[in-house]
Amino acid sequence: MTVYIIGVVTIAALLWILAASLANESDAEKRQLLQSYSVSEERPEQVRYTETKRAA
């Protein structure tokens, strides 16, 4: 029974870490996207291409 509880807690912790990591990555992508859309009068607008990886 103790092994079962340890396993459940471990899996829950790993899933929580994974979810938090993906949320932080999403926030970073949003900040980068918003930063690329901001137009500065001092420099011309730049086009930024971002590669995305997708499963086949």
Q: For residues 24 and 18, is the Cβ–Cβ distance under 8 A? A: no
* For the chain, the helix, strand and coil percentages under 3-state DSSP, each to the nearest 5: 65, 0, 35
**What are residue 16's phi and psi, to 5 degrees?**
-65, -45
* Res 41: pLDDT: 46
* Res 42: pLDDT: 52
Identify the DSSP state of 35.
H
* Res 45: pLDDT: 58
**Average pLDDT, consecutive stretches of 10 residues, N- to C-terminus, the chain (56 residues):** 96 94 76 70 60 67
